[in-house]
Amino acid sequence: MAKKESTFFNMTLTLFVITAVAAVALGYVYNITKDPIQKAKDEKLKTAINIVVPGADKGTIEESKLSVDGGELVMYKVIVDGNCIGTAVKTFSNNGFGGLITVMVGFDSEGKIIDSNVLEHKETPGLGDKTSKSVAPWNEQFKGLDISQMKDQMLKVTKDGGVVNAITAATISSRAYCDAIQRGWKAYMDNISKAVAEDKQPDTDETVNETETDVEQIMEETNNE
Amino acid sequence: MNNLKNFTKGFIKENPVFILLLGLCPTLGVTTSAINGLGMGLATTFVLVGSNVVVALVKKLIPDKVRIPSFIVIIASFVTIIDLVMAGYVPALYESLGLFIPLIVVNCIVLGRAEAFASKNTVFSSLIDGLGMGLGFAFALTLLGAVREILGSYSIFGYKFINTDGILVFVLAPGAFFGLAYLIALMKKINK
């Protein structure tokens, strides 16, 4: 068979056929891999939550999103047997050595850090990637920290007058990690105080009613006597 | 050229990385560990074999003036397929290779083999050529990754044999150049 001539019609037809076949093939592969990819993503998220809120794999997760500082925070409230055992917050910082760092941090009901870990980062391998649990035990020191007890309520590295020991030769990554947790903590605490404010209204009413009943009962009892 | 020679030329004599110096961007970028190098190499092998075979199949049907865009579409399709498959079935490896998977599209070796070999040879020898070149690339990346991992973090395929930090510079970008330079020199010596 002779080689096709480069006429306008031939070229158009060839490119059209090739792209059409490619499109169909890719659509087919996409359909096959859609479920495994989604499953891998879910699995990854569950594992990430379970690291910062141990026991999350046995409970249900309530998800809520809010936008802060030009990015998106996601809160995962972990409920086991009807009790909230903690909230994992997916937070971020743009101040990493390689730009964006995404951090998952778990808080207990009082806002103390349960545990934290890096989800995504572009930090230098061997230095900044020590923020990740799988590489180094550096972020163990965040366990149990209570930001509300800190100076100015700010989580900082020791160089900046805080309590966090920065990674040697990766202060910028350490600062970004603190910044991400700080952002997550603030959003979490704001969320709690908002929820408390909403809850308070009916609470006060009930208390008042109870007091009134009590007073009436007492009065009735007094009258009876 | 017999098939065996055609297959083995990719490893030493015409190794894409050490001799042809093609596809150096992923070579320098992903080889922070041996497993990354191997994963990247095998993904590229898949794309090379696929695109070589398809290009050899349709070479007569493609008018000369649009052959490059046609080849690129074929290559990009295979890259997208491997991208989706890896994301679904080996998410951990997919994550550590990251952006370099979609970038296989612009790897010079792939288009180079399509243009220089597959568009002039039969389907079977193109398959052998793709396989040889791809595995040669994988071999080079794994070797460089292993050297960098051994020196940079004292481990091999994730198994740590000295429990301290390695010579950090080998995991960083300059280490890729050092490692590659010494390996190229070594290959020159072997080829003589």
ipTM, interface predicted TM-score of the complex: 0.77
Query: Does residue A90 fall inside a structural domain?
Result: yes
What is the spatial distance between Cα A87 and Cα A62, in angstroms, rounded to a whole number? Answer: 9
CA quadruple B165, B171, B173, B179: dihedral sign? positive
List helix spans (H) across B59-168: 67-89, 91-97, 108-113, 123-153
Residue at A15 is within a domain: no
Pull the structure tokens for residue A163.
Answer: 């309590």
B191 token code pair: 């080829």
Largest pairwise CA distance in chain A: 118
Q: What is the pLDDT of residue A2?
A: 54
- Tell whether the model's pLDDT for residue A209 goes beyond 50: no
| H or E segment to which residue B61 belongs | none
Pairing state of beta strands A71-80 and A60-68?
A: antiparallel
**Looking at the 3D structure of chain B, how many domains does it have?**
1
Q: Which residues lie closer than 8 Å to B112 by C-beta, 6 or more apart?
A: B20, B22
Separation between Cα atoms, residue B35 and residue B12, nearest integer Å: 21
Among the partner-chain residues A11, A26, A37, the one whose CB lies closest to the CB of B81 is A26
Average pLDDT over residues A37-61: 85
Report residue A3's pLDDT band, with 50, 70 and 90 as the boundaries: low
Burial of B83 (0-12, 13-18, 19+ CB in 10 A): buried
A28 in a domain, yes or no?
no
* Cβ–Cβ gap A40/B87 under 8 Å: yes
Q: Which member of B61, B91, B171 has the closest CB to residue A4?
A: B61
Domain interval for residue A88 = 48-199
Please, which pLDDT band fits residue A206 given cuts at 50, 70 and 90? Answer: very low
B158: region left, alpha or beta (phi > 0 left; psi from -120 to 50 alpha) = left
A25 close contact with B: CB closer than 8 A:
yes
Position A100 in a domain: yes
Residue of chain A whose alpha carbon sits nearest to that of B165: A126
Judge whether A182 lies within some domain. yes
Three-state DSSP class for A203? helix
Question: What residue numbers bound the domain in which B132 lies?
Answer: 2-144
Asked if residues A105 and A89 have their Cβ atoms less than 8 Å apart, the reply is yes
Q: What is the mean pLDDT of chain B?
A: 87
- Structural domain contains residue B165: no
- Flag whether B83 is in a domain: yes
On chain B, the residues whose CB falls within 8 A of the CB of A2 are 60
Say how far apart CA B5 and CA B11 lie, in whole Å.
10
| Whole-number Å distance between alpha carbons of B15 and B171 | 23
Query: Which pair of tokens denotes residue B112?
Result: 């180079």
The two three-digit tokens of residue B53, written as one number: 């075979």
Residue A151 covered by a domain: yes
Q: Residues of chain B whose pLDDT is less than 70? A: 1
Q: What is the pLDDT of residue A211?
A: 47
End-to-end CA distance of chain B: 21
Q: How confident is the model at residue A204 (pLDDT cuts 50, 70, 90)?
A: very low
CA distance B51 to chain A (A): 12
Cβ contact B171–A15 (<8 Å):
no
Give me the total of CB pairs closer than 8 Å, taking one residue from chain A and one from chain B. 79
In a domain, A96, yes or no: yes
Q: In this complex, which of A2, A26, A125 lies closest to B77 when CB atoms are compared?
A: A26
Helix, strand, coil abundance in chain A, percent, nearest 5: 55, 25, 20
A30/B contact by beta carbon, under 8 A: yes
Is this structure's pTM higher than 0.95?
no
Helix H or strand E segment including A68: strand A60-68
* The pair of three-digit structure tokens given for residue A205, joined into one six-digit string: 């009413």
What pLDDT does A223 receive? Answer: 54
Inter-chain CB proximity A125 and B172 less than 8 Å: yes
Query: Cβ of B64 and A25 within 8 Å?
Result: no
**In total, how many domains does chain A have?**
1
Tell whether A143 is covered by a domain. Answer: yes
Helix (H, G, I), strand (E, B) or coil at B18: coil
What phi and psi, each to the nearest 5 degrees, are found at residue B107? -70, 125
Q: Is A40 on the interface with B (CB under 8 A)?
A: yes
Pairwise CA distance, residues A209 & B132, whole Å? 84
**Distance (Å, rounded) from C-alpha A10 to C-alpha B60?**
12
Name which of B31, B53, B56 is nearest B41 in CA terms.
B31
State how far the Cα of B10 lies from the Cα of B113, in Å rounded to an integer: 11
Judged by DSSP in three states, A2 sits in coil
Rounded to whole angstroms, what are the CA distances from A97 to A92, A172, B146? 13, 6, 26
What is the per-residue pLDDT for A224? 53
